[in-house]
Every structure is written in structure tokens, then in C-alpha cells.
Amino acid sequence: MDSPSRSNSLWKGKGKAKATDVDFEDLNPIITYRHLHSHNLSPRDPLRAIALCDSDAFYAACEQMRLGVDPAIPLVVRQWDSLIAVNYPARKFGISRMDRWDDALKKCPELKIVHVATYKEGDAEPGYWEKPDTRTHKVSLDYYRRESAKIYTMFKEGLPGAEIEKASIDEAFIDFTRPVREKLLERYPYLATVPDDAPEGIDSPLPPPPPISWDGLGVVVPIHPTADEEEQLLEDDNLTTWSDVALSIAAEMMGKVRADIHATLGYTLSAGIARNKFLAKLTASYRKPNNQSILRNYAIPDYLKPMPFQKIRFLGGKLGEALAREYDVKTCGDLLPISLEEMQRKFGEDSIWVYEILRGIDRSEVKEKSALTKSMLASKNLAEPVTKPSEGSHWIRVLAAELTLRLNDAREQSPGLWPKSIVLSIRQGWHLGRSKQAPFPFSRTVTADLIAAAGDKLWKELIGFDDSKPLPIKITHVGLSFTGIASTESGQRNIEGFFKAPDSMKIEERGTKRKSSATTEECAESTAITASRIVKDLDPGASSPTYFDCGRCGKRMSLPDDICDAEVGDDIKKQALAVLHTAHEDFHLALDLSRMPEEGTKTVKFRPDPPKKKKVRRSEPGGIARFLVKK
Ligand code: TTP
Ligand code: CA
Ligand code: CA
């Protein structure tokens, strides 16, 4: 239910001092007993309290903790020649992620530089080597993943009743609305029952809120950043709303779990607390590190208006550029005069999303992701391409070690996990690729040798090991992945059926056109082509593609939001897209297998898919899509 704006009479004039302009008319909605007692908490709930909690200089903090280095010492994490994480003491020397490691060292000669762990052939575990070499080693993020999982577990255990969505390796959204609601009723028991004389019964507004002391709860973003009397304004309970009370309780809970994580695991985290995900994320970086910031509704207009809109996620690319060009403007405030009608006329129906974001409105939900990973990919971009078939084994062994570790890690959580298939994929850039997959036999103990043997077999079938035969493509990318990972409880019934399937199946990606009767090959081929086209279409500086359109079913497969998030590197996005791609192929493959006429056939003729619904014409996308995919 939408909340109408508060009428002034309710506050007997007190709230009038903060009358806001028309663009931000929902800052102080009427909150009724019905809102408070509703069991169905929707994103429109006026007492929503959302946090985004992000670890400070995460990989650097992981290394600092692992090595027992004093947190005051400048430390960076290096990956080959670049820096991927810079701790706060190092930032004081002007070092940033943009620096090369040797330039950083010039800025701060006592800088501690830790190269990220890498796998080398033959080792089951990644290690920290003196001189890792991109030509032979592969980066391992396993340690960071494990530390990330520990932090997530502490969120889960420390915040019962809160919805938690892991948003990237080092951050999570937390919806505090439900636990805050409970705390409100516990702390202010008079809210539990609708007073007999309430004029509109359960739809009566709540009584005026109590004053709040923000002491120890974090940095409160000022309502008027430039006003001298800010201190007084903040303490002025005339401006306090029940939404502020909700935010302050969320801040209490957030502060406690941050302190627990710091005490137990050693990591410092920063959080932003506001009425929705978008604002929570923006607020999280207000005061870093080791801080939390609270954005009260009344502080939204002055916080948002001066913000360059191209800094907002999804407005950083073409859409933001188009808006900037169309109106010759920079900040969110500059865009406020544009009416919804005009925006939709110029940028399509969906641009209502932009219109609302500029006004601090975001109704997206905090959704917990399924704990079960369905696929795992270990992949390597080869600085020096593989030029001989015999060179494949090296990379397969390296990738197999990573998959072993990750599957075994996952099995610690769910012991019955096993992957339905293993896929080997090779590519030349993103333009040409081949992959081959085979069922992966169930085994209680998963070892790198077992996985490498399966990988070698696929390599043999795809490429062979005969160095006298030329490679089909110049291999610049090798990936080994598990797909269809399920726990044996749900997977067991399929095992038998699965072993009846052909022992392996070739999925080749060639540059031919899709025929009307689509096969698995063709599906893979057209998705690969689409993916490569998207890569080309996006400007080089912009982020990696976050979706592909399956040429077979016409469905758009998008990466989950956390991966789309700008802060995972492009490499990670590419890998994730490759996993998604493989998983989607796997889905079609499974569908095709289920339609196979006889068992054990080597060459599979697939029945055509049912007639497709009319596809969205990708060549001329309309509306907002124009700005996401180039014509
Ligand atoms: P961020 O949260 O963006 O950065 P950070 O945690 O290092 O620093 P901050 O205190 O400002 O939040 O990214 C989390 C980790 O993800 C980071 O420690 C390293 C990794 N990462 C990359 O590997 N490549 C990248 O381009 C970025 C942005 C992050
Ligand atoms: Ca971070
Ligand atoms: Ca982050």
C-alpha cells in the first residue's frame, strides 16, 4: 500500500519546518498501526531499514590478518603487475588500485606487497610464491572466499530474522525491517495495541515518536550539510520520525554485529543504513573505514542532489552519457526538473526507474540467494597462448586443483554435493570457442587427479595430444567447470539415468547461422556469438557484459546483481558469464538428453524445440535497452 504524505495537522505544525519540495514528497509518510502490525512487509513499508555492509580494503585485510601484520602498516595486494586491494594506511601515501606495484613502492618504500595466492601445476593447494608467473600460475581467490563465508555466517548467526543477501565477495545487503519491527514493539509496548479512542482505528497514525540519541550509532548524514546549526537540528526531536527510530534500531544491530566480526575475525566493515538498497549502498561509503553511516529520510534530498548521477550504478554507462548529453547536466539535482513523461518519451517506459532513483526511491527487495552453487568454474586467460596440444595438460592440472578445493570446500557445508558434468572449454579471445562436456562420475572423495583425468580425456577428444597436428584455434582461454551441482539426495535418482547417457558430447561453436531445428551445438554457437558481440559493443572502458541472449530459447540470461556490481573485476564477470553460459548449455543438454530416442548413441540428433514465441528484436532494441546494447 502506498503511503500518502503526512498532513501537517498530525504534527500540529512541528513537521512543517521541514516541508520538502515536491520531488521528495514521501520523506515523512503517515505511518499507521496497520503498517506497524502488518506481517507482510513489502518494499513499500514506510518503516523499512536496509543496510549495505562492506568490508574495508577486503583482500588487503585478509592478507594482513593471515600474515599477522600490524593493521597500521601500509599493505597492498598485487596480482601480476597491478594492485587489486590497497589498505587504508597505504592510501595515505596516495596509492590506489590504479597504480602498478612498482609505482606504489616508489610512493611508499616501506609498503608491504603481497602477491595474491596462485596455483601451480602439481600442487593441491594454492600457495604464496616468491615469483609467481602468469605464464605458468593461476590466481586463487579461495582464501578470500573462505574468509567472506565466515563473515557471512556471522551475519546470519548474529542477525536472526533479518534477510541477508550476499551482494559480492565482501558485501551484503541486510533487511532489518522485521527484527526492527519486533524491537520497536518490545521497546514501545504502547504501540502494540490500537488505542480505543484512535479516530481511524487501525488506520490511525502512530503517536509522535520518542526522541532518539544517535550517540554511538554511527555518523548521521546531515539534513542540511551546509547549515551551522546542524548539531541542533539533529537533536531536534521535532524532525524525528518513526522511520528514524527504525533506522536507529537497525544501526544498533548493525553496530553490534560489526563489532562482533571485528572481535572474532579481525575485519573492519563499513555500513550504510537507509530506507532502501540503493540509498544504503550510496551511504556505505560516506565514512570509511570502520564506520557506519545513517541516511535519514529528511537527509535524502541534500545528499542526492549534488551527487554526479554518472556515479550511480547503471547510470555510469551509455544511459548516463545520453542523459548528460541530452541535458548538458552532471548531478542528480540537475535531472530533477525533467518530467517523468519527458523522460519516458526520450528514454523509454523503463526510465521510470531513473526518475525514481533520482528521488531516492528504490523498491528492490533484499533476497537471500540459494546457498547451493549450481556450477563452479576455474578458468585462466593465457597471457601466452597455448600453441601445442601437449601444453593442455599443464593447465588442466592447475584448473583441476582449484575445482577440487572448491568442491571439497562446498562439501564441508553439504557433504552430498556432486557435479553432474564436467566441461572443458577453450577459446580464442571471446570470439571463437569450443567446449566439450562429459558426465562426471560420482565419487566420495574428489581428488585433483580424478578431475584432471576427466579434463585430460575431454582435452584429448577436443584437441588431442599430438603436437604434429595444428591446433584448431589459438587458445587464449581455458576453462574447466562443473555444472549441474546438486546434493546427492536430490541428484541420486538421476544418477542411473545419467550413466546411460552418451559418454561425452561435443559442443562446438562455429561461425555459422542458426538453423531452424536448433541443436546443442547451435545453441552454444549462437550464445557465444552474442556474447562476443556484446563484448565488442560495449565501450572498452565500460564494464563487461552481464548477460547473453540464448540463441536457442531466446531467453536473456543475466548475471545476478552481486556480480553485475561494478566492484568485481571484469575478469570475474567474464568468468561468471562463462559459468552461466555453460550452465545454460547444460540445461539444454539435459533437455535434449531427456528427448533422446535411444541410449548410448554417439551422434545425437535432437528434436527441434517447440516453436518459439516471437523474439524481442535485438537488432533494434527500444527504450532503455538502446543504452545498454549498442545498435
Ligand atoms: P571493494 O569493496 O571495491 O574494495 P576494497 O574492499 O578493497 O576497499 P574499500 O574499503 O574501498 O571497500 O572490493 C572488494 C575486493 O574485491 C577488493 O579488496 C579486491 C577485489 N577487487 C578486485 O579484485 N578487482 C577490482 O577491480 C575491485 C574493484 C575489487
Ligand atoms: Ca570493500
Ligand atoms: Ca565491496
pTM, rounded to two decimals: 0.76
DSSP state of 312: S
Residue 512 has pLDDT above 60, yes or no: no
Verify whether ligand 1 is closer than 6 Å to residue 170 (CB atom): yes
Q: Determine the 3-state secondary structure of 77 from DSSP.
A: strand
The answer to whether 176 touches 243, Cβ cutoff 8 Å, is no
Question: What is the Å distance from ligand 2's center to 330 Cα?
Answer: 26
Question: What is the Å distance from ligand 2's center to 568 Cα?
Answer: 10
Tens of pLDDT, residue by residue over 13-26, are 333 334 457 889 88
How many other CB atoms sit within 10 Å of the CB of residue 103? 12
Q: Which of 565, 567, 568, 573 to mutate to test the pocket of ligand 1 (most atoms within 8 A of CB)?
A: 567
Verify whether ligand 1 is closer than 6 Å to residue 302 (CB atom): no
The continuous run of DSSP H or E covering 156 comes out as helix 142-158
Q: Which of 86, 98, 101, 170 to mutate to test the pocket of ligand 1 (most atoms within 8 A of CB)?
A: 170
Which residue owns the Cα nearest ligand 1 atom 5? 57
d(C-alpha 78, C-alpha 102), whole Å: 10
The mean-pLDDT minimum among 53-62, 123-132, 408-417 falls in: 408-417
Beta partners for residue 424, in sequence order: 436, 480
Q: Which of 65, 66, 82, 84 to mutate to test the pocket of ligand 1 (most atoms within 8 A of CB)?
A: 84
Verify whether ligand 1 is closer than 6 Å to residue 56 (CB atom): yes
Torsion of CA 233, 238, 242, 247, to 10 degrees: 10
Verify whether ligand 1 is closer than 6 Å to residue 54 (CB atom): yes
Mean pLDDT over all residues of the chain? 80
The answer to whether 425 touches 481, Cβ cutoff 8 Å, is yes
- Ranges of H-type helices in 8-129: 33-37, 58-67, 88-91, 101-107
User: 15-18: long-range contacts at Cβ-Cβ below 8 A with a sequence spacing of 24 or more?
Assistant: 15/238, 15/239, 17/238, 17/239, 18/223, 18/239, 18/298
Which residue owns the Cα nearest ligand 1 atom 8? 57
Instruction: Using alpha carbons, select from 603, 431, 592, 594 the residue that is nearest to residue 523.
Output: 592
Q: Residue 196 has what pLDDT?
A: 94
22: Cα separation from own chain's centroid = 34
Question: What is the Å distance from ligand 3's center to 269 Cα?
Answer: 10
Question: What is the Å distance from ligand 3's center to 567 Cα?
Answer: 6
Length of the chain: 631
How many other CB atoms sit within 10 Å of the CB of residue 595? 11
CATH 3.30.70 residue ranges for the chain: 21-49+176-299
CATH 3.40.1170.60 residue ranges for the chain: 58-140
Q: Which of 53, 58, 115 to mutate to test the pocket of ligand 1 (most atoms within 8 A of CB)?
A: 58
Q: Which atom of ligand 1 is nearest to the CA of 570?
A: 26
What CATH number belongs to 376-491? 3.30.1490.100
CATH 1.10.150.20 residue ranges for the chain: 305-369
* DSSP β-ladder status, 486-487 and 417-418: antiparallel
Q: Which atom of ligand 1 is nearest to the CA of 170?
A: 14
Q: Which atom of ligand 1 is nearest to the CA of 567?
A: 28
Q: Which residue has the cell 500500500?
A: 1
Q: Which of 56, 59, 169 to mutate to test the pocket of ligand 1 (most atoms within 8 A of CB)?
A: 59
Q: Residue 168 has what pLDDT?
A: 93
Which residue owns the Cα nearest ligand 1 atom 13? 567
Verify whether ligand 1 is closer than 6 Å to residue 80 (CB atom): no
The continuous run of DSSP H or E covering 322 comes out as helix 318-327
Q: Residue 343 has what pLDDT?
A: 93
| Cell numbers at 41, concatenated | 512487509
The continuous run of DSSP H or E covering 158 comes out as helix 142-158
Q: Residue 552 has what pLDDT?
A: 63
The answer to whether 75 touches 60, Cβ cutoff 8 Å, is yes
State mean pLDDT over 9-14.
Answer: 33
Verify whether ligand 1 is closer than 6 Å to residue 564 (CB atom): no
What CATH number belongs to 305-369? 1.10.150.20
Q: Which residue has the cell 529528511?
A: 298
Helices 520-537 and 570-594 pack at an angle, to 10 degrees, of 160
Question: What is the Å distance from ligand 2's center to 238 Cα?
Answer: 36
The answer to whether 502 touches 601, Cβ cutoff 8 Å, is yes
d(C-alpha 534, C-alpha 539), whole Å: 10
Tens of pLDDT, residue by residue over 94-131, are 999 999 999 999 999 999 999 999 999 888 899 999 99
Q: Which atom of ligand 1 is nearest to the CA of 59?
A: 18
Going from the C-alpha of 165 to that of each of 49, 174, 560, 562, 596, the distances in angstroms are 14, 6, 11, 9, 39
Contacts for 80 with CB less than 8 Å, ≥ 6 apart: 134
- Give the number of the ligand closest to the Cα of residue 56: 1
Residue 434 has pLDDT above 50, yes or no: yes
Question: What is the Å distance from ligand 1's center to 366 Cα?
Answer: 22
d(C-alpha 160, C-alpha 257), whole Å: 11
Tens of pLDDT, residue by residue over 583-617, are 666 565 545 444 433 322 222 222 333 444 444 44
How many other CB atoms sit within 10 Å of the CB of residue 371? 10
Residue 560 has pLDDT above 70, yes or no: no
Verify whether ligand 1 is closer than 6 Å to residue 560 (CB atom): no
Instruction: Using alpha carbons, select from 216, 62, 44 the residue that is nearest to residue 145.
Output: 62
Question: What is the Å distance from ligand 2's center to 273 Cα?
Answer: 16
Protein fold of 58-140: MutS, DNA mismatch repair protein, domain I (3.40.1170)
Tens of pLDDT, residue by residue over 191-223, are 999 999 999 999 999 999 999 999 999 999 998
The answer to whether 292 touches 219, Cβ cutoff 8 Å, is yes
Q: Residue 455 has what pLDDT?
A: 96
Contacts for 112 with CB less than 8 Å, ≥ 6 apart: 69, 73, 74, 75, 76
d(C-alpha 433, C-alpha 13), whole Å: 68
DSSP state of 418: E
Q: Which atom of ligand 1 is nearest to the CA of 55?
A: 6
The answer to whether 104 touches 111, Cβ cutoff 8 Å, is yes
Tens of pLDDT, residue by residue over 164-185, are 999 999 999 999 999 999 999 9
What CATH number belongs to 21-49+176-299? 3.30.70
CATH 3.30.1490.100 residue ranges for the chain: 376-491
